[in-house]
Structure 1
Amino acid sequence: MTLRLGIAAGIGLFLAMIALKNAGIVVANPATFVSLGDLSQPPAIYALLGFFVITALSYLRVTGAVMIGILGITVAAMVLGHNEYGGLMSMPPSIAPTFMAMDLMGALDVAMLSVIFAFLFVDLFDTSGTLIGVAHRGKLLDKDGKLPRIGRAMMADSTASMAGAALGTSTTTSYIESTAGIASGGRTGLTAVVVGVLFLISLFFAPLAGSIPAYATAGALLYVAVLMAGSLAHANWEDPTDAAPVLIAALAMPLTFSIAEGIALGFISYVAIKALSGRFSDLNPAVIILALLFAARFLFLG
């Protein structure tokens, strides 16, 4: 449960970092790594305004608060000349150049083993972390903090990843932005089916979807980050052997810009701290093995 809380909060902070970066509120700095951007620029102003509106509408229990905020900022930016209308419809591009364009024999080369393991590691634990974080926000975990039928969810995700590879698209996997849908009330499989159908239809409305700027969705992501970070309230801050791994997992995700790396550091710190504290009863073989695998990956694969 300790690591689940850290993962859920970490995903929220990761969302916040993505939102702040997309809006130009947080920018790179060679001296301090990150620093405050120019808040007088339109993207930053629109993102903050969208965040304020979405938060207020959610408090007032207005249905579709997230969508209202995103579309409202998009339209306002167009009216004020800060965003261009990309058009309404177009035919989807051909997938012929990338369809089944795979070098399977090349993937069987011994030199590719480390690459395959790295991709497996990232996809597996990105998905695991996303599922736990999203399920925690949707109150779908059982009384023991476990996600029922997670095997089916992982099977669906892995099938989608392989199908995406065959089609030549970027990785099709579970995305943390799904928490925005849960924040709007989507909690069932029917929600996923409806969204899937709408995604198919949106292939023909790509120019319209492309008209929505990143800063319009930044406010929504920042609001969802607030919801996700709430899991920190359930951590046992009186016990440093629990509190420390929660904080490490939560901070590592946004600072490394990777869910998988945050999970890895969370597991390693949890096992190391518990073992050094003599709290072996809090550990189980699966957690220890995972921590050792994560440590081996950092030490030998970089």
Structure 2
Amino acid sequence: MKSSVNSQQSFLESYFKLNENKTTVKTEILAGITTFMTMSYILVVNPSILSDAGMNFGSVFTATALAAIVSTLLMGLYAKLPFAQAPGMGLNAFFAYTMVIGMGHTWQFALTTAFLEGILFIILTAFNVREAIIGSIPDNVKKAISVGIGLFIAFIGLENAKIVLHPKSGTILALGNILDPVPLLAIIGIVITGILLARNIKGALLIGIIVTTIIGIPMGITKLPSALVSAPPSISPIFLKFEWNHILSKDMFIALFTLLFMDMFDTVGALVGVSTKAGMIDEFGNVPRAKQALLSDAIGTTLGSCFGTSTVCTFLESASGVAAGGKTGLTAVSTAVMFILALFLSPLFLMIPAAATAPSLVLVGLFMMSPIKEIDFTDFTEAIPAFLTIIMMPLAYSISDGLIFGIISYVLLKVFTNKAKEVSVATYIIAALFILKFFI
């Protein structure tokens, strides 16, 4: 038995190059579990959003888990990167509230759009178009992406915990009542997790989530499940439910272009930002195995739409696993295994309240801030685009919008300060596409 365990560990170390990346099987597994804990909310939130479009909640729950399992396994085994994937927030809202409710189409139309987007992404990845986009992002903007994502993640955590609110009055944001149970539990969790981090406790983020969840039981926030095991709902009501009669319509083109644009730059932004934080960016500013990562995303989106869910993308919460020490694809594989367990142990995983995962998101936001020290603030043609990238991500609630402001301002500042030669042809093309987006 001991020999078998050693043989398995040896295989994992060899396949994922754990020694070369200065990590261990235990660290990678804990990192994968941490990533899952911080993103498991998608198992509830995604079905909730898509059910507003008329889709079956239980079926979407299963489809969400299946899409996350397949795409994250691809990311781990094929791209060998510590990033997790699942149906993306923002993209699911566009699916339900814009394409279906706003434009008046069926959810089958929206699923068809997601399927076509996945096919297009596979083609664009095969021809290295998406990889070229990553290479076209200026170095200082790349570093700013990590910082902006950090603020974005922290903001999501604070919002999930109701520490920050969106009131209906004239105030854009407001502080919630921190003595209410949910925000109070989140603040307790931040303190506990912060102490664990300060004491250099291994697995601090994961331990913080578990302890905060337990504390939430007497506070009435953590609801104990009546059963631990249940069979996953069938996906038959939404499986392969495509609608082809509007495939050449103007509405299909607009929806497809918008979805393509959102997903492309959300995923590119997440890959660059988390890779920068993890120290994976090479001396040329490239993400390692970017093509494989982008292809995993594209295949995940295509298969996800077949299962019956919205567009798949790389999750920002992968940063929590990276912060916990994850450096290889074994982290992603561990996250995928957790999603497999969640299919059958959903009551157990779904009992974890948002207030328990919020502290990890807030503190991961802190970890993501470190590249700000490497941004050149002495040259305003570099500093202003970096700052706009950072500040617009949380304020616009979008990675892609932050990137839009960063790239366009970078090109304009360089052109009008006689530094146009510093801008690559690819960057000019990306900026032109960003501008075009505002007119469609």
TM more than 0.5: yes
Q: Partners of 2:208 and 2:247 in 1: how far apart? A: 45
Are 1:22 and 2:155 an aligned pair? Answer: no
Are 1:186 and 2:339 an aligned pair? Answer: no
Contact 2:165–2:173 under 8 Å retained in 1 = yes
Partner residue of 2:209 out of 70, 81, 87: 70
Q: Partners of 1:180 and 1:214 in 2: how far apart? A: 15
**1:281: Cα distance to partner?**
2.7
What code does the residue aligned with 1:277 have? Answer: T
What code does the residue aligned with 2:156 have? Answer: I
Instruction: Judge which range, 158-167 or 55-64, deviates more.
Output: 55-64
Q: Partners of 1:14 and 1:107 in 2: how far apart? A: 35
Q: Partners of 1:240 and 1:105 in 2: how far apart? A: 51
Q: Output one character per residue of 1:73-126: Cα deviation in whole Å (capped at 9) or x when no partner.
A: 111111333321124121111101110011134233233111101000011111
1:212 matched residue in structure 2: 352
**Matching of residues 118-197 of structure 1 within 5 Å:** 118-197=258-337
Q: Partners of 2:248 and 2:229 in 1: how far apart? A: 42
**1:66: Cα distance to partner?**
0.6
Contact 2:181–2:219 under 8 Å retained in 1 = no
1:199 matched residue in structure 2: 339
Q: Partners of 2:176 and 2:220 in 1: how far apart? A: 22
Q: Partners of 1:103 and 1:188 in 2: how far apart? A: 39
**1:23: Cα distance to partner?**
0.9
Q: Output one character per residue of 1:112-155: Cα deviation in whole Å (capped at 9) or x when no partner.
A: 11110100001111100000111112111112221122111100
The root-mean-square deviation of aligned C-alpha atoms, in Å, is: 1.3
2:221 matched residue in structure 1: 82
**1:32: Cα distance to partner?**
2.3
**1:238: Cα distance to partner?**
1.3
Instruction: Judge which range, 149-158 or 277-286, deviates more.
Output: 277-286
Q: Partners of 1:171 and 1:226 in 2: how far apart? A: 28
Q: Output one character per residue of 1:188-233: Cα deviation in whole Å (capped at 9) or x when no partner.
A: 0122112212211211111111100111111000000001122211
Are 1:260 and 2:400 an aligned pair? Answer: yes
Instruction: Judge which range, 7-16 or 274-283, deviates more.
Output: 274-283
1:247 matched residue in structure 2: 387
Q: Partners of 1:170 and 1:297 in 2: how far apart? A: 21
Identity of aligned residues (%): 36
What code does the residue aligned with 1:33 have? Answer: I
1:13 matched residue in structure 2: 151
Are 1:91 and 2:270 an aligned pair? Answer: no
What code does the residue aligned with 1:233 have? Answer: K
Contact 2:221–2:353 under 8 Å retained in 1 = no
Instruction: Judge which range, 117-126 or 141-150, deviates more.
Output: 141-150
Equivalent residue of 2:216, what SS?
Answer: helix
The number of aligned residues is: 300
Partner residue of 2:193 out of 37, 46, 54: 54
Q: Partners of 1:134 and 1:201 in 2: how far apart? A: 26
Partner residue of 1:104 out of 244, 247, 270: 244
Runs of 4 or more above 6 Å deviation: none
Are 1:290 and 2:437 an aligned pair? Answer: no
Equivalent residue of 2:286, what SS?
Answer: coil
What code does the residue aligned with 2:319 have? Answer: T
Equivalent residue of 2:166, what SS?
Answer: strand
Q: Output one character per residue of 1:33-71: Cα deviation in whole Å (capped at 9) or x when no partner.
A: 111111111111111221222222123221111111111
Partner residue of 1:4 out of 126, 142, 161: 142
**1:171: Cα distance to partner?**
2.7
